[in-house]
Amino acid sequence: MIKMIYNTFFQRSLTSVRDLTRQDFELLFDVTDKLIQHNSNYNICSGKTLGCIFFEPSTRTRLSFESAMSYIGGNTLATSNILSSTQKGESLADTIKIISLYSDVLVLRHPLDGSSKFASEISTKPIINAGSGTEEHPTQTIQDLYTINKETKKIDGLKIAIVGDLKYGRTVYSLLYGLSSYDVTVYLISPEALRIRSDSIYDIKKKLQLTESTELNDYIHDLDVIYVTRIQKERFQDKEEYFKVRGSYVIDNSVIKKLKKNSIILHPLPRLDEIPNNIDTSKHAKYFKQAEYGKYTRAALLGLILTKNGFEHK
Amino acid sequence: MIKMIYNTFFQRSLTSVRDLTRQDFELLFDVTDKLIQHNSNYNICSGKTLGCIFFEPSTRTRLSFESAMSYIGGNTLATSNILSSTQKGESLADTIKIISLYSDVLVLRHPLDGSSKFASEISTKPIINAGSGTEEHPTQTIQDLYTINKETKKIDGLKIAIVGDLKYGRTVYSLLYGLSSYDVTVYLISPEALRIRSDSIYDIKKKLQLTESTELNDYIHDLDVIYVTRIQKERFQDKEEYFKVRGSYVIDNSVIKKLKKNSIILHPLPRLDEIPNNIDTSKHAKYFKQAEYGKYTRAALLGLILTKNGFEHK
Amino acid sequence: MIKMIYNTFFQRSLTSVRDLTRQDFELLFDVTDKLIQHNSNYNICSGKTLGCIFFEPSTRTRLSFESAMSYIGGNTLATSNILSSTQKGESLADTIKIISLYSDVLVLRHPLDGSSKFASEISTKPIINAGSGTEEHPTQTIQDLYTINKETKKIDGLKIAIVGDLKYGRTVYSLLYGLSSYDVTVYLISPEALRIRSDSIYDIKKKLQLTESTELNDYIHDLDVIYVTRIQKERFQDKEEYFKVRGSYVIDNSVIKKLKKNSIILHPLPRLDEIPNNIDTSKHAKYFKQAEYGKYTRAALLGLILTKNGFEHK
């Protein structure tokens, strides 16, 4: 059966999570559902090529894009090592331009804010931001929101804690912007030293019902979603401080016991020891599901960018 | 025409050559024959993705898997460099788990015995052992036995010499386990210092008619298969000893002259100077055929693991 | 509609630009036009595999081949790192032989003249020279001539300047050999120190109407094609000499103003500062078009080598 969709993604770049509306998320969720149900490839992107330009190390994001592209029938250029061009003195702009000529869509990870926007102005093909600067990781947010919606059957009305290093993780800021399209209550749980950078979310503070705290325990009994992030030792000048705070945010069995029946634990991964391995088999643990959904949400995004109505005819 | 097969490989890991029965080998040989005859791709694994995790360098094994996957229509993730995740402090178990979520089947090479079994317990997808520890290299054995069967029209009844470094090569142990499913006579020809580790084959000694010797010359006239392996200088503490033994196992023209009319020379490659280049054009030389068959035997294995009856309908 | 072609490329190596006739170029141009018009993949090389062997760094050439292979439905082996085999002491000949067994066609870049010819004698599959020694880069020449023909509607009768480092760039020599199949006037514009190596083009001097000069300005008003190359600082022992000559060959706005209405500027890329970025939007600037055409000319070549008449039936 053919379902008409208005594909707002077709041939457009996705540089910022701030450009995604609730309708965009819902379209992505719909297409992702179809891709998972179908459980075989759509092959709608046969002959299409994905170019990856990564200026920061990334295994899981790059592989999930590559795997997603393969799932819909396309190929990925082996562009992880782009040193050769830059060795010859080529400008970054020329490198991006050239790789865009050889690709149908590009994925960029870069340490600078705005790099993705800059690239989209140079590139002849759509750019997907796969992580830039300290605030943007829109495809992670799509994956996170898809997981929440899939595993709790809704997003509106949920009580969501984001726990750990809220200062440095781009995932956190991106997620908050994504959540601002929904009606949710958010608890920001972190050590003092790793509190959210308040300026970076000033324009969504009113849309989200935000509570900041250092104590996960005060809210744990009432949460629907616990989104855990890594606390990296390197962030602390005082290592004793690190060892002190680290323990308070470990999701071990004593924490699990306090959870509501249907609450879920998420983590963008990779994890260190903030979630011990023995939690993996808990019914609350959904972080590997979340990782797996990342393949299908990215396949949905790539397919929508590359084909006007490729998903309708299946 | 549809031929019904009972596909024992479907969605199962292959971690040890010891798990392969004679029936398993015969199924693999059948499917490989079909793939070679067809001489065009089957495309049965379109949209399927292979993940490669290599903790030891390997060109030919990795490329033969990648080429095999391509032959049946699938893609391979560029996972050769998995440093990025481990740099971020992720455990090996999590890395394997995540890559398995993005793949439909995984190939693992690792220096430790049992690594493949360990990985198969973590992975959500089937694992193929592409070489582990000192004893296991099951896909090399499938390729070796396929070549013997194809080039001599049988395996039962053959007289087979395995020549060179029998102590360290995992290929040798794997091959002996594979041969133990057949009725063959095996000559283990090596210098004293590189004799087979007897303990490692204790349970198949009775099944194989084994003879150990340092003298290839004593048996050369009567052999059907000469399976040559590298002798690596690094194995010898006494370098003079190395230069002494090396010469006795070089398959040069004087050795070739003594061979039975239909005998074949195999080598898992890469070779050093144990087979000089001028032997490559001899009718006995089948080691490049053997390498080529590795593509098709692996395509057969991958196809059987990934599709229940994909090969039947062609 | 089926158009019968005599495919002279089928299953043959392309090691030298000197082997390409005018008819060969025209066949390649025809097929390239079809591929671009079609604007979707032909999928004629599904299940086919390209092996890349690069002994010199290359981003754009490698990626354009990979992208081209993807466009016609095939895959590319991740063979950029071939250290593993050579670490084990394998000869180059064996490495090439083995990779050829796992591929349907190979692409080789190597610093030595004749490397490609040598490889084609070892390989069991066709070899495409992707740059060897100081004189051969046949696929760049195909791309260059295609661009000239496409953008000026002809090649015969054109006045073409090749500007910059004419001594060291293999692109220049390859292009001159390609142009010698046509009736063109060529101006070789370079600083004294970077003049063409006259011996290397002795056999085509008569076929091309060649003029050597250090002054671009003397010819600029009358040119149809300005083919600009990089001038690399490292080529100069006297750095002051470098800074002196560099300026005279920069294609800036003052040069652009002198150009004939329909003249075009080409560059094999990567560029340094010989063409400033602000020229990119000029109607004369065709170097990014040229880069893009490289994908389709290579797809045409790969398709013709891999399929006898695959392009006819579309």
Cis amide prior to B191 (ω within 30 degrees): no
**What are the φ/ψ torsions at residue A192 (nearest 5 degrees)?**
-45, -45
**In this structure, how many other beta carbons lie within 10 angstroms of the beta carbon of residue A261?**
6
Alpha carbon of A106: minimum distance to chain B alpha carbons (Å)? 16
The 3-state DSSP class for residue C39 equals: coil
What are the angstrom distances between the C-alpha of C3 and each of C11, C296, C313?
Answer: 20, 19, 8
Chain B touching partners, 3 or more CB pairs below 8 A: A, C
The 3-state DSSP class for residue B86 equals: helix
Rounded to whole angstroms, how far apart are CA atoms A216 and A80?
39
**pLDDT higher than 70, residue C41:** no
What are the angstrom distances between the C-alpha of C44 and each of B35, B47, C71, C192?
Answer: 19, 17, 9, 49
Which is the catalytic residue, given B62, B110, B137, B286? Answer: B137
pLDDT in tens, A64-95: 999 999 999 999 997 755 544 555 667 889 98
Task: Give the nearest chain C residue to B287 (CA atoms).
Answer: C98
Which of C59, C62, C60, C33 has the alpha carbon at shortest distance from C50?
A: C62
User: What is the mean predicted confidence (pLDDT) over C111-130?
Assistant: 94
Q: Are C18 and C176 in contact (CB under 8 A)?
A: no
Which is the catalytic residue, given C3, C8, C21, C60? Answer: C60
Q: Are C290 and C266 in contact (CB under 8 A)?
A: yes
The 3-state DSSP class for residue A229 equals: coil
Which is the catalytic residue, given A48, A62, A110, A137? Answer: A137
**In this structure, how many other beta carbons lie within 10 angstroms of the beta carbon of residue C38?**
14
A237 vs C19, higher pLDDT: C19
Report the percentage of chain C scoring pLDDT > 70.
Answer: 93
Q: What is the mean pLDDT of chain B?
A: 90
Q: Residue B64, Cα to own-chain centre: how many angstroms?
A: 11
Tokens of B124: 């959500």
Which strand ranges, in their side-by-side order, compose the sheet holding B225-228? B209-213, B185-189, B159-163, B225-228, B264-266
- The distance in angstroms from the start CA to the end CA of chain C is 7
Rounded to whole angstroms, how far apart are CA atoms B194 and B236?
9
Q: Are A186 and A210 in contact (CB under 8 A)?
A: yes
User: What is the mean predicted confidence (pLDDT) over B116-131?
Assistant: 96
Rounded to whole angstroms, how far apart are CA atoms A225 and A259?
10
Which of A84, A78, B47 has the alpha carbon at shortest distance from C52?
A: A78
DSSP C185: E
Which strand ranges, in their side-by-side order, compose the sheet holding C159-163? C209-213, C185-189, C159-163, C225-228, C264-266
C252: Cβ–Cβ under 8 A, 6 or more apart, which residues?
A: C276, C279
Q: Are B172 and B196 in contact (CB under 8 A)?
A: yes
Interchain proximity C79–B72, CB inside 8 Å: no
pLDDT in tens, A103-123: 999 999 998 999 999 999 999
C61: Cβ–Cβ under 8 A, 6 or more apart, which residues?
A: C109, C130, C131, C139, C140
To the query of whether residue A110 is one of the catalytic residues in this protein, the response is: no
The 3-state DSSP class for residue B46 equals: coil
Residue A206 has what pLDDT?
84
Interchain proximity A60–B97, CB inside 8 Å: no
Residue A239's pLDDT band (cuts 50, 70, 90) = confident
B237: Cβ–Cβ under 8 A, 6 or more apart, which residues?
A: none
Mean pLDDT check: name the lowest of C14-18, C77-81, C92-96: C77-81
Task: Give the nearest chain B residue to C103 (CA atoms).
Answer: B67
Which strand ranges, in their side-by-side order, compose the sheet holding A105-110? A75-77, A49-54, A105-110, A127-132
**pLDDT higher than 90, residue A225:** yes
Which of C66, C71, C63 has the alpha carbon at shortest distance from C42?
A: C71
> What residue type is assigned to position B295 of the chain?
K
Which strand ranges, in their side-by-side order, compose the sheet holding A159-163? A209-213, A185-189, A159-163, A225-228, A264-266
Residue C91 has what pLDDT?
83
pLDDT in tens, B284-300: 999 999 999 999 999 99
Residue A2 has what pLDDT?
43
B110 vs C156, higher pLDDT: C156
Interchain proximity A81–C80, CB inside 8 Å: yes
Multiple choice CATH, B17-136+292-313, 3.40.1160.10, 3.40.50.1370, 1.10.1660.10, 3.90.1150.10: 3.40.50.1370
Core vs surface per residue A295-309: b (16+ CB within 10 A) or e: bbbbbbbbbbbbbee
Residue C134 has what pLDDT?
87
Q: Are B55 and B111 in contact (CB under 8 A)?
A: yes
Interchain proximity C78–A79, CB inside 8 Å: no
Answer whether B17-136+292-313 and B138-290 agree in fold: yes
User: What is the mean predicted confidence (pLDDT) over C187-215?
Assistant: 92
Residue B88's pLDDT band (cuts 50, 70, 90) = low
ipTM of the complex: 0.89
| Residue reference for tokens 């790789």 | A99
Core vs surface per residue C56-92: b (16+ CB within 10 A) or e: eebbbbbbbbbbbbbbbbbbbbbbbebebbeebebbb
Residue B221 has what pLDDT?
97
Q: A254: exposed, middle or buried (C-beta count within 10 Å: 0-12, 13-18, 19+)?
A: exposed
To the query of whether residue A171 is one of the catalytic residues in this protein, the response is: no
Rounded to whole angstroms, how far apart are CA atoms B123 and B98?
8
Mean pLDDT check: name the lowest of B107-116, B148-157, C244-253, C260-269: C244-253
Q: Measure CB to CB from residue A82 to each of C41, C59, C271 and give the nearest one.
A: C59
**pLDDT higher than 60, residue A205:** yes
Rounded to whole angstroms, how far apart are CA atoms C120 and A42?
39
Core vs surface per residue A156-187: b (16+ CB within 10 A) or e: eebbbbbbbbbbbbbbbbbbbbbbbbbebbbb
Residue B235's pLDDT band (cuts 50, 70, 90) = confident
Beta strand residue intervals within chain A, DSSP E? 49-54, 75-77, 105-110, 127-132, 159-163, 185-189, 209-213, 225-228, 264-266
**In this structure, how many other beta carbons lie within 10 angstroms of the beta carbon of residue B87?**
11
Chain A touching partners, 3 or more CB pairs below 8 A: B, C
**pLDDT higher than 90, residue B80:** no
Q: Measure CB to CB from residue B291 to each of C81, C98, C103 and give the nearest one.
A: C98
Which is the catalytic residue, given C48, C76, C95, C109? Answer: C109
Instruction: Name chain A contacts of B84, Cβ cutoff 8 Å.
Output: 57-59
Residue C2 has what pLDDT?
43
C160, β-bridge pairs: C186, C225
**pLDDT higher than 50, residue A1:** no
Which strand ranges, in their side-by-side order, compose the sheet holding B49-54? B75-77, B49-54, B105-110, B127-132
To the query of whether residue B88 is one of the catalytic residues in this protein, the response is: yes
User: What is the mean predicted confidence (pLDDT) over A215-220?
Assistant: 95
Q: Are B82 and B95 in contact (CB under 8 A)?
A: yes
C21: Cβ–Cβ under 8 A, 6 or more apart, which residues?
A: C181
Q: Are C161 and C226 in contact (CB under 8 A)?
A: yes
The 3-state DSSP class for residue B51 equals: strand
Domain boundaries, chain B: 17-136+292-313, 138-290
DSSP string, A142-204: HHHHHHHHHHHS--TT-EEEEES-TTT-HHHHHHHHHHTTS--EEEEE--GGG---GGGGTTT
Tokens of A115: 């790099």
Mean pLDDT check: name the lowest of B197-201, C185-189, C239-243: C239-243
Report the percentage of chain B scoring pLDDT > 70.
Answer: 93
Rg value, chain B, Cα: 20
The 3-state DSSP class for residue C137 equals: coil
Mean pLDDT check: name the lowest of A171-180, B39-48, B91-100, B157-166: B39-48
Residue A58's pLDDT band (cuts 50, 70, 90) = confident
Tokens of A69: 């592209």
Q: Measure CB to CB from residue B82 to each of A59, A75, A269 and give the nearest one.
A: A59
C52: Cβ–Cβ under 8 A, 6 or more apart, which residues?
A: C62, C65, C66, C76, C77, C79, C80, C106, C107, C130
Interchain proximity C41–A49, CB inside 8 Å: no
Instruction: Name chain C contacts of B234, Cβ cutoff 8 Å.
Output: none
Residue A244's pLDDT band (cuts 50, 70, 90) = confident
Which of B188, B152, B158 has the alpha carbon at shortest distance from B286?
A: B152
| Residue reference for tokens 């050579």 | C86
Task: Give the nearest chain B residue to A45 (CA atoms).
Answer: B47
pLDDT in tens, B153-184: 999 999 999 999 999 889 999 999 999 999 99
Residue C3 has what pLDDT?
55
Nearest 5°: the CA angle B87, B92, B98 is 90
Residue B5 has what pLDDT?
67
User: What is the mean predicted confidence (pLDDT) over C116-120?
Assistant: 94
Rounded to whole angstroms, how far apart are CA atoms C138 and C121?
18
Packing angle between helix A92-101 and helix A115-122, nearest 10 degrees? 60
Q: Residue length, chain B?
A: 314
**pLDDT higher than 80, residue A233:** no
Residue A21 has what pLDDT?
97
**pLDDT higher than 70, residue C40:** no
User: What is the mean predicted confidence (pLDDT) over B118-122?
Assistant: 94
B with C: how many residue pairs have Cβ under 8 Å apart?
82
- The distance in angstroms from the start CA to the end CA of chain B is 7
CATH of domain A138-290: 3.40.50.1370
